[in-house]
Amino acid sequence: MDPEDALIEKIQNNLSNNGFPEKIVAFPIDKIQAIVEKDQLELDMILSRLSMAGIYSEEQGDKLIFSSSPDSFSTQNDESNEDPATATDGLGDLLKGLGDLPFDPASFAGKSKDDIMNMGKEMMEKMSETDKAELFQKFMSMPAEQKEKLMGKAKDFNLF
């Protein structure tokens, strides 16, 4: 198999193993770049071919973010010194564990912490007390490990 085709297949398999296309997946760009250089390939060509297959990517900090929608990416907030790739890493995945939500967790992709906080405040203001209680029940029924990870993200956001 052609080295370029082999790498594309490997990336697709790794994405699939990490929940793609339902999830936005991030890989360390230095690892991908090392493979590309070792095989004397062009990363731009690999990413272009992936986008033709419906796998879109964007470099954010030291990560290469993959999504099934080009609309998942937004430009970084110039006022924020936070790297959106690390600020929101895994947050959407954790929130999906709460089941149906009045928003799409993927909408957090590429957002700064401030943007996510504002989105969360708006969502909570719009929710009825019944919806809030239902959301709390969903949280309480999550597996302990997932609750712990979600609470860790809340600490990262200085919510408590």
Higher pLDDT, 74 or 23: 23
> In the predicted model, is pLDDT for residue 11 greater than 70?
yes
Q: What is the pLDDT of residue 80?
A: 37
CA 131 to CA 136: how far, in whole Å? Answer: 9
> What does the DSSP 8-state code read for residue 36?
H
- pLDDT interval class at 114 (50, 70, 90): confident
> Mean pLDDT for the chain?
78
Contact 142, 97 (CB under 8 A): yes
Q: Which residue has the higher pLDDT, 141 or 26?
A: 26
Mean pLDDT of 3-13: 92
User: pLDDT for 49-74, tens place per residue?
Assistant: 888 888 989 988 889 999 988 877 75
> What is the predicted pLDDT for the residue at 126?
83
What is the structure's pLDDT at 131? 82
pLDDT at 107: 67
Output phi, psi for 98, to 5 deg: -85, 0
Residue 81 pLDDT class (50, 70, 90 cuts): very low
How far from 90 is each of 29, 65, 67, 73, 97, CA to CA, in Å?
Answer: 17, 12, 13, 15, 11
Q: Who has greater pLDDT, 98 or 144?
A: 144
Q: Kind and range of the H or E element at 25?
A: strand 25-28
The per-residue pLDDT for 78 is 34
Q: What is the pLDDT of residue 74?
A: 59
Please say if the pLDDT value at position 85 is more than 70: no
